[in-house]
Structure 1
Amino acid sequence: MAATVSLSAFLTACGDDAPDPSIGADSASPNEVTVPVSAVAVDLLDPGAEPRSPVSYRLAAGIEQRTTLVTEAKVSQQIDTQSAQDFSSPEITLLLDAQVAEVEDTGAAVVDLTIDEATSPDARLGSALEDSDGSGAGLTVQPDGSVTALRLRPTAESQDIARSAIEQAMYQSVYRTVAFPEEPLGIGAQWTVRQQVVSGIALEQTTTATLVARDGDRLTVDYTVTQAPESPTWTLPNDAGTLQIEQYTMEGSGQVVVDLARPLPVEGQVRVGGEQAYTDPNGATALRQGTDNTVRWESE
């Protein structure tokens, strides 16, 4: 189980839904990596009350937005009856300057992000983040609001701990994005967004969203999130063996306010957590962990 524990510590430290940057990553420059984001499937359950109207982002080149992203991932892990260990990622706050660089013929918007300031109440991480100001990131945002690519561009001076924390924060925010259906929506409309999340284990994430308010381009959406493993077995990389998934619960809820003329959420918060349990094939050793992740958007 030593390799398993080491791997699990790495994965959980990345949050419940951090994809592996090495999977399908493409480097545009020595310091930039592009990570594909899993496609979404959106299904309308209820169109809501009249009047109804289409929901589609109208992002134009040159649009700018300044907002703050705050994330935190709490992880507790225990092997058999040993004392629980803390693999949490401290809270991190990123002040982001976003600009729509271009809009492709498909309507997808290429959004550039610059980290104007990165801070954390954790002393060690906070000190390391001081060298990360000016780091960049980017998103490809579809007209339905889904994100299909994430770009990461740390500064040459960025320390590993700071680089990892920023990557985790961006991953968490991307996989908490709410996409909209093609059909016209009214207040009370409800739909689901299904997406595969890969974080060592292949998971299916289902987001159930409800439109609770709309004022022109400004929409308020309540939503719940659940995750379930696609297989009862976790096949570890590098031929390290397998684990049986004895228990996997991951669920939460939140609210987001979006502006269809802006690339990032205006405000909102979502909290997702749960309990997981794994055993080796012989059932001789058990690994349990509890997770609690928070993503929050704030506008000035």
Structure 2
Amino acid sequence: MPIEAVTTTITDPGAEPRSPLRRAYEIGTTQQVTLSTDHHIEQQINNQALRDISPPGMTIPLTAQAGREGIDLTLGNVSSPDPALAKALLPADGSQVGFDVNELGAITALKLNPKPATSDTARAALEQSFYQAVYQSIAFPEDAVGVGAVWTVRQQVSGSVPLEQVTTATLTARDGNLCTIELNVVQTPKSTVWHLPNEAGQLEIVDYLMHGTGTITVDLGLPLPVSGSVQVGGNQTYRDPRSAVTLHQTLRTEVQWGA
């Protein structure tokens, strides 16, 4: 599954000394890391009661290995606080995932190869989690930077509501290959309508505000972030022009990396 290309622009190169931020791992380098995702959705139709329609969160242990064109991932025992999803995820142990990565660290494609016994429910949950991780990852600037550097990353986010995502990254610390980067994320719709799933029609976008922040720590000698989290949330309001029904949603998505 291809991922939309990114455009990076430096707004402040930071302090001297400056050097390019580039992944420096050798082919075959391995890393153990855990990816956790949580997606919270509250929904209200007109004046009806507020409903929590959040999908279950997931914790995904990963073994990452640097390949020639990207990063190969092997899933460990994926868990979820939802008993039904946790049971459905059991056959996914050992499934393969891949990230194609360019020279600036941007992910250009996502590959999912679940074990054959993995159910459609588990496959969809894994796909959603990895999409969240991909779009909350960070690309590096092309030119050399130092501590205090600020750059923006623009990217189109595919989905039922196409978005333009602008991430402002600040290099707050660097010790050799270890870099700490603060992130500020803003998402705005590129369309005035939301195309509902399964060709169920479309709704007008009345209001859409999504913003997030986070901090990640990256070791340039390893394929994936070693720690950190990014949380993006906000409010969305939609209207059905045929019936004047109004749908209001409050969303919050968190992607977390850790040992």
TM over 0.5: yes
Residue 283 of structure 1 deviates from its aligned partner by 6.3
CA 1:231–1:48: 2 relative to 1, 3 Å: same
Q: Which runs of 5+ in 1 are unaligned?
A: 1-34, 103-108
Instruction: After TM superposition, list the pairs within 5 Å mapping 1:46-61 onto structure 2.
Output: 46-61=12-27
Count of paired positions: 259
**Could you tell me which residue of structure 2 aligns to residue 220 of structure 1?**
180
Q: TM-score, normalised by structure 2?
A: 0.95
In structure 2, which of residues 120, 135, 149 is the aligned counterpart of residue 175 of structure 1?
Answer: 135
**Could you tell me which residue of structure 1 aligns to residue 256 of structure 2?**
296
Give CA deviations for 1:220-240 in whole Å, capped at 9, x if unaligned: 000111100012233457764
- For 2:40 and 2:192, the matched residues in 1 are separated by 24
- For 2:193 and 2:92, the matched residues in 1 are separated by 38
- For 2:88 and 2:195, the matched residues in 1 are separated by 34
- Counterpart check, 1:43 vs 2:9: yes
- For 2:98 and 2:149, the matched residues in 1 are separated by 30
- Counterpart check, 1:94 vs 2:65: no
Amino acid aligned to 1:70: S
- For 1:99 and 1:270, the matched residues in 2 are separated by 23
Secondary structure at 1:174's aligned position in 2?
helix
Instruction: After TM superposition, list the pairs within 5 Å mapping 1:190-205 onto structure 2.
Output: 190-205=150-165
Q: Which runs of 5+ in 2 are unaligned?
A: none
- For 2:164 and 2:89, the matched residues in 1 are separated by 33
Secondary structure at 2:67's aligned position in 1?
strand
CA 1:255–1:98: 2 relative to 1, 3 Å: same
Whether the 8 Å CA contact 1:141–1:263 is kept in 2: the answer is no
Q: Quick one: percent identity of the two aligned structures? A: 47
Amino acid aligned to 1:154: P
- Counterpart check, 1:231 vs 2:197: no
- For 1:88 and 1:267, the matched residues in 2 are separated by 25
What RMSD in Å do the two structures reach over aligned CA positions? Answer: 1.5
Instruction: After TM superposition, list the pairs within 5 Å mapping 1:79-118 onto structure 2.
Output: 79-102=45-68, 109-118=69-78
Residue 100 of structure 1 deviates from its aligned partner by 1.6
In structure 2, which of residues 89, 102, 106 is the aligned counterpart of residue 146 of structure 1?
Answer: 106
Whether the 8 Å CA contact 1:58–1:143 is kept in 2: the answer is no
Q: TM-score, normalised by structure 1?
A: 0.83
**Could you tell me which residue of structure 2 aligns to residue 135 of structure 1?**
95
